[in-house]
Amino acid sequence: MKTKIWQITKESEIQIYLEAAKMLQAGETVAFPTETVYGIGADATNEAAVTKIYEAKGRPSDNPLIVHIADQAQVHSFVKEIPPNAKKLMKQFWPGPLTIILPLQANRLARNVTAGLDSVGVRMPEHPVALGLLAVAGIPVAAPSANRSGKPSPTSGEHVEEDLNGRIAGIISAGKTGVGLESTVIDCTLEVPAILRPGGVSQAEIEAVIGPVISEVQPLEQKEAPKAPGMKYTHYAPKAPVVIIEGDATFFQQQIDNAKARGEEVGILVSDELSKDLDASTHKLALGSREHLEEVAYQLYQQLRNFDHTSVTIIYAEAFAKEGIGTAIMNRLDKAAGGHYMRQSEED
């Protein structure tokens, strides 16, 4: 398939929205930027169109997709009701990086959008290009992240081209995304809402609006006890295995030295602060200051992808504080590492 690639400019944007919206309405797939990561969109009411998303990504079809809208009024066309908590969250955080799971109205969306569930995840993105395209298209658009399944989500148009050029009808390219990690997913069909995926909006920010919520997010390592080799589940992962190092700079340096002694080519993914304390290492990719976790989030996927253009055989990543967006950073790193950690023991 020949993929049409548009570069957004002020002069051309309306024309691009019109062309891309026509493709979506005709049942084709188009990738577009949001403030979190790029998404690959299709008409959420068209089953054949949605199937093309799963095929292009190589994604298992039992994992439901998020429906994107440009106007809150659209929600009523496919949702049974909007619980009071959800209303408050929409008012506070939309447009923005929060996906809200709501009870689905039967027969309004293609069944494969929700993977047969009776609930649907909905989000209004805060990106002028996403909002422009969605408004012109006028249809609810199902859109997962625009990466091949298992790879880090795309935070630039080039990442989307790397993964999906030739596999989808169009790509709207508009530079880098803002947050750099996916939206927070919160289930509002429950009595007490539950955070299913940490992201751009923190638990504290949510609780300030609707009170206590449940966090169902567990690190992989606590989920299954000893994993059978080869059965580990990784996601957002570069080609080389990732291990998270919990400990001080001396401990971190020790792990690097040990791995080098085994003949590994070590890549490290660390804050500017830790970077300064480590020996010049062959492949050091910095994520910014650990005092500015927003910057770390913004750089994370780009740097994970960058390792694929090096010859490293193992990647050691710093453990960041799980506060604010740090929770989302550590959730993604945990998945990239398949739950693998090395920890400095208390007595060291």
Count Cβ neighbours within 10 Å for each residue of 190-213 and write b for 16 or more, e otherwise.
eeebbbbbbbbbbbeebeeebeeb
Task: Out of 13, 88, 117, 251, point to the residue binding ligand TXA (CB under 6 A).
Answer: 117
The one-letter amino acid at 139: I
Task: Out of 21, 49, 65, 137, point to the residue binding ligand TXA (CB under 6 A).
Answer: 65
Contacts 24+ apart (CB under 8 A), 271-280: 271/296, 271/318, 271/320, 274/249, 274/318, 277/249, 277/252, 277/253, 278/249, 278/252, 278/253, 279/253
Task: Out of 20, 21, 101, 109, point to the residue binding ligand TXA (CB under 6 A).
Answer: 101
Q: Dihedrals φ, ψ of 187, to 5°?
A: -90, 110
**Residue 59 labeled ligand binder:** yes
Instruction: Choose the one of Mg ion, ligand TXA, none that binds residue 326, judging by a C-beta under 5 to 8 angstroms depending on kind.
Output: none
Report the distance separating Cα 93 and Cα 120, nearest Å.
18
Question: Mind spelling out the 3-state secondary structure of 281-300?
Answer: CCEEEECCCCCCHHHHHHHH
**Residue 197 labeled ligand binder:** yes
**Nearer CB in complex with ligand TXA: 97/338:** 97
**Nearer CB in complex with Mg ion: 195/210:** 195
The answer to the question of residue 167 lying near ligand TXA (CB under 6 A) is no
Instruction: Choose the one of ligand TXA, Mg ion, none that binds residue 120, judging by a C-beta under 5 to 8 angstroms depending on kind.
Output: ligand TXA
Query: Among 21-29, 74-82, 93-101, 326-334, which window interacts with ligand TXA (CB under 6 A)?
Result: 93-101
Report the distance separating Cα 174 and Cα 180, nearest Å.
14
The one-letter amino acid at 1: M
Query: Smallest distance from the beta carbon of 339 to ligand TXA, in angstroms?
Result: 17
**Nearer CB in complex with ligand TXA: 46/112:** 112
Report the distance separating Cα 220 and Cα 84, nearest Å.
32
Report the distance separating Cα 18 and Cα 185, nearest Å.
30
Instruction: Choose the one of Mg ion, ligand TXA, none that binds residue 318, judging by a C-beta under 5 to 8 angstroms depending on kind.
Output: none
Dig out the tokens for 39 from the structure. Answer: 């998404």
**Residue 321 labeled ligand binder:** no
Query: Smallest distance from the beta carbon of 154 to ligand TXA, in angstroms?
Result: 9
User: Are the beta carbons of 173 and 8 closer than 8 angstroms?
Assistant: yes
Task: Out of 45, 156, 183, 253, point to the residue binding ligand TXA (CB under 6 A).
Answer: 183
**Cis omega (within 30 of 0) for bond into 95:** yes
- The contact set with Mg ion (CB under 5 A) reads 145
Residues 26-55 that bind ligand TXA (CB under 6 A): 34, 36-37, 39
Site string for ligand TXA, 201-230 (x = CB under 6 A): ------------------------------
For 220, the enclosing helix (H) or strand (E) is helix 220-223
**Residue 283 labeled ligand binder:** no
SS3 for 156?
A: coil
The answer to the question of residue 8 lying near ligand TXA (CB under 6 A) is no
The answer to the question of residue 64 lying near ligand TXA (CB under 6 A) is yes
Residues lying near ligand TXA in the complex (CB under 6 A) are found at: 34, 36-37, 39, 63-66, 97, 99, 101, 114, 117, 119-121, 123, 125, 143-145, 182-183, 185, 196-197
Residue positions in the annotated binding site for ATP?
59, 63, 145, 153, 197, 236
Residue positions in the annotated binding site for L-threonine?
36, 68, 123, 143, 183
